[in-house]
């Protein structure tokens, strides 16, 4: 199973929207997909229509209680897409795990024997705490949603420093599959400037597909649906399908063949 963490310590950059829709897009292309909601806010779970009362086993049980991943996995309304949901209980996990010797590797250990999915996306909280550390330690690679705003590169540098530390201590094979430019507005000159600056600094690491500011993307979570299901023809949905195609092209060919 290919494991991709979706992380950025800044909030409001389209991280959960990206997690929901890229997972849906991969499922739509036939990949058996798992989405792990590792954010105590549980927005990815809500955005896929999983009511709080239905979240019997969650990512808290997976990390803290040691419940097997298979028992925490729930079906969604999307064919080929399952989720390990989250609740606010997860907010206490960092305190409960801090004294544990394997506190940074709990998620990796939990997923080691998991089968039944070809690809897994991990939606991280907007911080660089223990939950995100678990995701980066468990992941093969990292996808970074980056909002087209003035302070984007400053926040990105902090995340890249964290990746280097994780590579040094916990996961030497952790890579970065790409940077996704989100909330792109061609009417705003600053958007183009930030995009040009990011591409100049990071080159091919930045995906060609960009995610536009789009009303339908914002509306979809309130209906408990990914945008690709809520309105598959909107600009945001088309952008995420393009991103999925580009992502598949960047995945290791031997892993796809397996």
pLDDT tens readout for residues 42-51:
999 999 999 9
> In this predicted model, what pLDDT tens digit does every residue of 143-169 receive, in sequence order?
999 988 777 777 788 888 889 999 999
Encoding tokens for residue 166?
């994780």
Summary mean pLDDT of the chain: 91
Residue 137 pLDDT exceeds 80: yes
> In this predicted model, what pLDDT tens digit does every residue of 180-216 receive, in sequence order?
999 888 777 778 888 888 888 889 999 999 999 989 9
Residue 256 pLDDT exceeds 70: no
**Distance of alpha carbon 200 from alpha carbon 205, whole angstroms:** 10
Residue 237 pLDDT exceeds 60: yes
Beta pairing class for 141-147 and 2-6: parallel
**Distance of alpha carbon 214 from alpha carbon 224, whole angstroms:** 17
- pLDDT level of residue 255 (50, 70, 90 thresholds): low
**Distance of alpha carbon 45 from alpha carbon 35, whole angstroms:** 9
CATH number at residue 127: 3.40.50.300
pTM: 0.93
pLDDT of residue 254: 54
- Domain coverage including residue 128: 2-257
Measured CA distances, 4 to 99, 174, 212 (Å): 27, 10, 22
Q: For residues 12-40, give the mean pLDDT.
A: 95
Residue 247 pLDDT exceeds 80: yes
Q: How many domains is the chain partitioned into structurally? A: 1
pLDDT of residue 190: 77
H or E element at residue 137: helix 130-138
Q: Edge to edge, what strands does the sheet with 141-147 contain?
A: 74-75, 81-84, 33-37, 119-123, 2-6, 141-147, 175-182
**Is the CB of residue 153 less than 8 Å from the CB of residue 196?**
no
Q: Which of the two residues, 252 and 109, has the higher pLDDT score? A: 109
pLDDT of residue 174: 94
């Amino acid at each position: 199973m290919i494991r991709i963490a979706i992380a950025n310590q800044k909030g409001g950059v389209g991280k959960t929207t990206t997690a929901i829709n890229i997972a849906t897009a991969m499922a739509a292309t036939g990949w058996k997909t798992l989405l792990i909601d590792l954010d105590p806010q549980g927005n990815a779970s809500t955005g896929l229509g999983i009511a709080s009362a239905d979240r019997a086993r969650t990512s808290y049980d997976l990390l803290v209680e040691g419940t097997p991943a298979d028992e925490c996995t729930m079906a969604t309304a999307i064919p080929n897409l399952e989720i390990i949901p989250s609740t606010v209980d997860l907010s206490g996990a960092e305190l409960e795990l801090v004294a544990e010797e394997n506190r940074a590797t709990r998620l990796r250990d939990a997923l080691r024997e998991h089968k039944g999915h070809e690809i897994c996306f991990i939606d991280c909280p907007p911080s660089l705490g223990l939950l995100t550390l678990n995701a980066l330690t468990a992941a093969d690679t990292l996808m970074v949603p980056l909002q087209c705003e003035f302070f984007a590169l400053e926040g990105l540098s902090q995340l890249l420093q964290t990746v280097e530390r994780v590579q040094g201590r916990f996961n030497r094979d952790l890579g970065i599959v790409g940077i996704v430019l989100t909330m792109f507005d061609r009417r705003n000159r600053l958007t183009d400037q930030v995009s040009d600056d990011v591409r100049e600094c990071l080159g091919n690491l930045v995906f060609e597909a960009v995610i536009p500011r789009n009303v339908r993307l914002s509306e979809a979570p309130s209906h408990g649906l990914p945008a690709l299901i809520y309105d598959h023809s909107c600009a945001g949905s088309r952008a995420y399908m393009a991103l999925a195609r580009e992502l598949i092209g960047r995945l290791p060919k031997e892993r796809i063949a397996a």
